[in-house]
Amino acid sequence: MATLKEQIETRVAEYDKWAIRRQYAADGPNMRRLWVLACMDERVPVDEALGIRADTPVGGGDAHLFRNAGGIVTDDAIRSAMLTINFFGTKEIIVLQHTGCGMLSANAADLEKALRGKGIDVDNIPIDSSLAELSLAQGAFAKWIGMMDDVDQTCMKCVELLKSHPLIPGDITISGWIWETEFRRLRAPTMDTEARARTQYSAASMGVSGSQPPRWI
Ligand SMILES: [Zn+2]
């Protein structure tokens, strides 16, 4: 077995390879040819959950990591996935969502109401201020927020959306996973009530009444 000194020397030497690799796009993918879409919640330790080292520069990083509220498929997630898959050699996608997610903790209609209460005109929001062509249809704002009724259902839907998207080639391996925040444990998304019983997997389990504007069903 190599000494720690030798291991460190190897990792340091690999830094040069890593630095060069980044300049050559598809000829130099990340170590696992992997793109991860994960919730931004600080209670989701992506590396621990997936058994990878997503973004270490010394000795290579395993993945291109994209985080947003919920770890959901959005236009910018698609933009990033499209780039890494078509131009940076990525061959696999992991969607990582989690129980107790903030995106289960309120109804989008209430959030919209709260923003209106602050005087924000949610019917006329520049979704991307540098790209006026990207706009929301009237009444779509609450849907755009992306609040969830059920994290397992949403995770499965996000996998489906990626699999069927024209910018994602059919030979990409795509899977979705749920991090149980309560038990620091990873599981496959499921609709089995018993398997999910002790976790906060739905908006209802977090005390939210009513359903979200339909997006993930
Ligand atoms: Zn979350």
Q: What is the domain count for the chain? A: 1
Give a yes or no: residue 201 inside a domain: no
Q: pLDDT band at 94, cuts 50/70/90? A: very high
| Alpha carbon of 201 to ligand 1 centroid (Å) | 11
DSSP character at residue 59: T
Check if the beta carbon of residue 206 is closer than 8 Å to that of residue 100: yes
Instruction: Tell me the residue type at 194.
Output: E
CATH of the domain at 35: 3.40.1050.10
- The model's pLDDT over 26-43, given as tens digits with 9 standing for 90+, comes to 456 788 899 999 999 999
Supply the range of the domain harboring residue 176.
4-102+150-193
Is pLDDT of 80 > 50? yes
Whole-model pTM? 0.89
CA of 107 to the centre of ligand 1 (A): 15
Q: Is 140 part of any domain? A: no
Q: Is 143 domain-assigned?
A: no
79 C-alpha to center of ligand 1: Å? 21
Q: Give the pLDDT of residue 11.
A: 79
C-beta neighbour count of 17 within 10 angstroms: 11
Q: How far is the CA of 97 from the centre of ligand 1 (A)?
A: 6
Residue 133 lies in a domain: no
17 pLDDT exceeds 70? no
Average pLDDT, the chain: 92
pLDDT per residue over 95-106, tens digit each? Answer: 999 999 999 999
E strands, 88-180, where?
92-98, 173-180
Say how many Å lie between the CA of residue 72 and the centre of ligand 1.
Answer: 10
Around Cβ 30, how many Cβ atoms within 10 Å?
Answer: 23
In a domain, 32, yes or no: yes
- Decide if 115 is inside a domain: no
Distance (Å, rounded) from C-alpha 17 to C-alpha 59?
8
Residue type, 6: E
Residue 156 maps to a domain:
yes
Task: Give a yes or no: residue 123 inside a domain.
Answer: no
